[in-house]
Amino acid sequence: GWQVSMKSGSLSYILPCNRLPVQLMSQVRVYTSNGQKKDLGSEDTNASARGETLHKVETGRQDTANAGQKQSSPKQPIQVKVKAVLKKREYGPKYTQNNFITGVRAINEFCLKSSDLDQLRKIKRRSPHDDTETFTVYLRSDVEAKSLEVWGSPEALARERKRRKEAEIKYRENLFRNQRLLWEYKEFFGNTKPRSSTAAMFFKGPGKVVMVAICINGLNFFFKLLAWVYTGSASMFSEAIHSLADTCNQALLALGISQSARTPDPSHPYGFTNMRYIASLISGVGIFMMGAGLSWYHGIIGLLHPHPVESLLWAYCILAGSLVSEGATLLVAINEIRRSARAKGLSFYQYVVQSRDPSTNVVLLEDAAAVLSVAVAATCMGLTSLTGNPYYDSVGSLGVGTLLGTVSAFLIYTNTEALLGRSIEPEQLQRLTELLESDPVVRAIHDVKATDMGMSKVRFKAEVDFDGRVVTRSYLEKQDIEQLLQEIQQVKTLEELEAFMLKHGENIIDMLGAEVDRLEKDLKQRNPDVRHVDLEIL
């Protein structure tokens, strides 16, 4: 019998055997003592070479080992199974040319025209947009070849890209002029599609509240200013400044409302809804600087340098009119907030504190402060007229300034919190989580984040652990099982197995993408506040 020496570390084992079979998948070769080999299964030169390399027969040691053993000892064969694996493929730039590219990117990046793409191969793929199910893409290699055909050389293409980049920079520098020309063009030829009128926003909802407040506060400022000039009262001056600050801030709110209705563009893909919060934040700062600051300044000057107050009859009349007008604006704001809070299922206090509608909140707080400040000013002016002491009037100015400072601090805090991106309510987040976890295709979700982007718009993000068996079963349910079985039975070689797995593996990945789209659509349909959903596959 032959002996096979197998070494492991520093130990050597001498095993008796008559033949050594080497098995590779379905290929088995048997080596006998006479140097011949018997093939079982298909031929494989590389496998036999590896078998001969791994198992060498040491003839010098065989005679010595056989002399000490009995001839009657049983000889058991040793079988070594070699695992067959696919060779790792190196993916280079040539392979990435098979990537898909959209028509818009092909035109922009390779300086082509839409007519140039008509001759290229068109491939239908699942669309990432909600309004379409499929869209057309092109092979990147085809687009690159077409660009070279059109421009002649990579250098000419690079020069064209540079020229277009310079033209784009020049266009941005003259953006205002181009927008003006575009507006004149639309006015002359007419709009190609209907647009939402910005003016219509100021006839309902928060826009209506802001416009009513602008008109009333503008009139109040004019009459209060006349009363201050006639009487010289520090409290009346504070009231005039207060009405001026309210008018300017509400004009700023109107600008924020109009800007928030702008259509999202590539520079601002999530839109301009936060412009309302920005305008409200600036309004809060303006109330503090102009309203509270000037009121404190005038009150301190009145305490340091008191002077007698003239007849206050006209001042009382103007304050009474201001109280009525400010109260009417306050009621409009309260009714609007109650209606909006009822639609969202929130209480009046929760709606105000959470700053759900910053524009209406500013009007509400400004008018509430105006009503209280009118009461403070009238009280202090009455004490001054009764006692003849001008210090009461100056104290009233300080009181109005303190009230405005409190309102401005609240507005700055609530709008800053909204701009930072706060989380939604835990109950709403729990409903979104349960909706995902109840789906059969989802095993678990992790790292859930739901951010309130402002104006009842929520962005939801989560990492989802998908059940691969359910996804695969969903794919198989849409296939012809008998035909699939025939394809499996026709697989005989490793190359055919690789082609089979690559074909159906890509289709299963597409099925996984379709499941992600379905989950995102369900979240948006059942929760209208959710506008943006980002589900990451774990």
Question: In this structure, what CATH number is given to the domain that contains residue 123?
Answer: 3.90.530
Six-digit token string for 472: 């695969």
Q: In the chain, what's the furthest Cα-to-Cα distance?
A: 138
As a whole number of angstroms, the distance between CA 35 and CA 503 comes to 45
One domain, residues 161 and 222: no
Three-state secondary structure call for residue 332: helix
Q: Is residue 81 part of a domain?
A: no
Q: Which two tokens stand for residue 1?
A: 């019998």
Rounded distance, CA 20 to CA 23, Å?
10
Q: Per residue in 364-379, is it b (16+ CB within 10 Å) or e — as a string?
A: bbbbbbbbebbebbbe
DSSP assigned state of 439: S
Asked if 19 and 35 count as a contact pair (C-beta separation under 8 A), the reply is: no
Q: Which of 247, 221, 216 is nearest to 236 (CA)?
A: 221
Residues 416 and 432 in one domain: no
For residues 375 and 222, what is the distance between their CA atoms, to the nearest angstrom? 19
H/E run at residue 50: helix 45-54
Structure letter (DSSP) for residue 154: H
Together in a domain, 412 and 455: no
Return the closest-CA partner of residue 183 out of 173, 172, 195: 195
Last residue of a domain, one of 386, 420, 454: 420
Q: What is the CATH number of the domain that holds 465?
A: 3.30.70.1350
Q: Which of 148-152, 246-250, 434-438 has the lowest mean pLDDT?
A: 246-250
pLDDT of 198 reads 56
pLDDT of 29 higher than 60? no
Of 322, 400, 338, 318, the closest CA to residue 209 belongs to 338
Q: Are residues 313 and 409 in the same domain?
A: yes
Q: What is the pTM of this model?
A: 0.59
Cα separation of 286 and 207, whole Å? 20
pLDDT at 93 over 60: yes
Task: Assign residue 278 a region (left: φ > 0; alpha: ψ between -120 and 50; beta: otherwise).
Answer: alpha
Q: How far apart are CA 399 and CA 397, in angstroms?
A: 5
Same domain, 477 and 530: yes
Mean pLDDT of 212-222: 85
Task: Name the residue range of residue 157's domain.
Answer: 100-189
Q: Which of these, 207, 209, 224, lies nearest to 366 by C-alpha position? A: 209
- Name the phi and psi angles at 501, rounded to 5: -70, -40
Residue 86 DSSP class: P
Side-chain-facing half-sphere of 487: CA atoms under 13 Å: 14
Same domain? 218 vs 145: no
Number of domains in the chain: 3
| Band of residue 23 on the pLDDT scale cut at 50, 70, 90 | very low
The radius of gyration computed from the CA coordinates of the chain, to the nearest angstrom, equals 41
Using pLDDT thresholds of 50, 70 and 90, give the confidence band for residue 297. Answer: confident
pLDDT at 35: 44
Neighbours of 449 (CB within 10 A): 14
Residue type, 191: N
Are 380 and 485 members of one domain? Answer: no
Please determine, for residue 119, whether its predicted confidence score (pLDDT) is greater than 80: yes
Are residues 487 and 407 part of one domain? no
241, 390: one domain: yes
* Residue 180: inside a domain: yes
What is the rounded CA–CA span in Å between residue 538 and residue 533? Answer: 16
| Distance from C-alpha of 421 to C-alpha of 419, rounded to nearest angstrom | 5
Which element (helix H / strand E) includes 411?
helix 391-420
- Comparison of pLDDT for 488 and 44, the residue scoring more: 488
* Residue 9 banded pLDDT, cuts 50, 70, 90: very low
Owner of token pair 């068996």: 469
Average pLDDT, the chain: 76
Interacting residues of 244 by C-beta distance below 8 A, sequence separation 6+: 221, 290
Q: Is residue 15 part of a domain?
A: no
At residue 535, the pLDDT reads: 92
Q: Which of 420, 453, 486 is the last residue of a domain?
A: 420
pLDDT at 27: 44
What DSSP designation does 16 have? Answer: E
Handedness of CA 312, 316, 322, 326 (dihedral sign): positive
Question: Which among 395, 420, 445 is the end of a domain?
Answer: 420
Looking at residue 97, its pLDDT comes to 62
pLDDT value at residue 292 = 84
Query: Residues 384, 432: one domain?
Result: no
165 and 220 housed in the same domain: no
CA distance 235 to 302: 10
Question: Taking 60 as the threshold, does the pLDDT of residue 293 lie above it?
Answer: yes
CA 329 – CA 215 distance, rounded (Å)? 10
Q: Does residue 134 carry a pLDDT above 60?
A: yes
**Residue 304: which CATH number?**
1.20.1510.10
- Assess whether 257 and 306 both reside in one domain: yes
Find the mean pLDDT for residues 438-452.
90
Residue 402 burial (C-beta neighbours within 10 Å; 0-12, 13-18, 19+) = middle
Token look-up 């409190």 returns 406
